[in-house]
Amino acid sequence: GQNIDQPTEMTATEGAIVQINCTYQTSGFNGLFWYQQHAGEAPTFLSYNVLDGLEEKGRFSSFLSRSKGYSYLLLKELQMKDSASYLCAAQDSNYQLIWGAGTKLIIKP
Amino acid sequence: ETGVTQTPRHLVMGMTNKKSLKCEQHLGHNAMYWYKQSAKKPLELMFVYNFKEQTENNSVPSRFSPECPNSSHLFLHLHTLQPEDSALYLCASSGGLGTSNEQFFGPGTRLTVL
């Protein structure tokens, strides 16, 4: 079957760095997405990886290893506004998104 | 502003009511989606439309009935719902199926079934 695993909740300190991991099993693979969702709001697109390696975009970076079925989202210089849920989604051979349950990130001062 | 709007934002209905959720996208996209989001669960894909044609129905109960009159509008008609249908219903759009275009989401409708 198809499955996405990511931690349910993480806590980090303002100004620090946090890494949110995601492992996936899909029928075929066409890329890995990360979305951010603040409470009561729409998910918003953060990153897309289809090749192995690290993609950096400001304070946020995303990494992919296709051979290991593994990705992570790295958030640097954490700010209070980064408190949100982070959703990992893998795209299968039919380009359908298989979603994880999300990681709730709590930032403490 | 994400370019995808949904109305209403909140809806409370009884099990015998009939109501409709509306989604509109202003992005010129060709694919539209309905998702159900329950607490601590992955997003559940319900329906997919590509160029107004339904391409996916993920075993959704018939009490949920989608309608896509054109590429910009998507409706979800609700009737005789159950309390377990209470959830956040999200609409999304993307450039088209068979691509790796990201999906853009609306703010959702928070549905409570009494």
Tens of each residue's pLDDT in chain B, 114 residues: 559 999 999 999 998 889 999 999 999 999 999 999 998 899 999 999 988 888 877 789 999 999 999 999 999 999 999 999 999 999 999 987 777 789 999 999 999 999
Q: How confident is the model at residue A103 (pLDDT cuts 50, 70, 90)?
A: very high
Interface of A with B (CB under 8 A): 4, 8, 30-31, 33, 41-45, 48, 50, 87, 89, 91, 95-102
Which residues of chain B does A31 touch, with a Cβ-Cβ cutoff of 8 Å?
Answer: 100
pLDDT at A95: 85
Q: Are strands B10-13 and B109-113 parallel, antiparallel or unpaired?
A: parallel
- pLDDT tens sequence across A20-48: 999 999 999 999 999 999 998 999 999 99
Per the CB < 8 A criterion, the answer to whether B2 and B52 are in contact is no
- The SS3 of residue B84 is helix
- Whole-angstrom distance, CA of residue B114 vs CA of residue B86: 9
Instruction: State the average pLDDT for chain A.
Output: 96
pLDDT at B53 (0 to 100): 84
pLDDT of residue B84: 95
The H or E element containing residue A72 is strand A70-75
**Type of residue at A21:** N
CA distance A86 to A97: 15
- Scan for tokens 């450039």, then name that residue: B95
Residue type, B80: T
Residue of chain B with shortest Cα separation from A93: B98
Residue A41 gets which letter from DSSP? Answer: S
